[in-house]
Structure 1
């Protein structure tokens, strides 16, 4: 389930419930989306690694800024995911 986290400068950040890898490590998929004419700019990443899974439309600098934002907010996102998220999206 996707959970709403925040919206800043027209960019919405959401996150999934906590998942587990095959070796039992926990992770959370995070998403940034910004509506643009004809579609969306988006970035998909994971916590805690902050590796980019998929991205389109955001510049490298924008991607870096979004991942920095995710890093600074990771503790809160983990807490919300452990509590069941906000269940909006």
Structure 2
């Protein structure tokens, strides 16, 4: 699944940096499949786009894969924004994790 995500994003977006984190093991009911991902993507394709529009670009690039993933967290920055701060908010803990 991670490779499919990378392929779809790479075909649609000019990527400078890309990291896809499988956060599935941190969530309750984990069965070994990829269900929760954090996508950290840096591209100047995001220039002049608001945060919501950047997320839409990523979702459009993912296409039908979106329906196969329970939760997607996106960090989408331009190269300049990433240079200024590569920090991002950590995902919250799962409420169902025992």
Q: Give the TM-score category using the shorter length.
A: 0.3 to 0.5
Which structure has the greater CA radius of gyration? 2
Higher relative contact order, chain-length normalized (CA < 8 Å, sep 6+): 2
Query: Structure 1 length normalisation: TM-score?
Result: 0.35
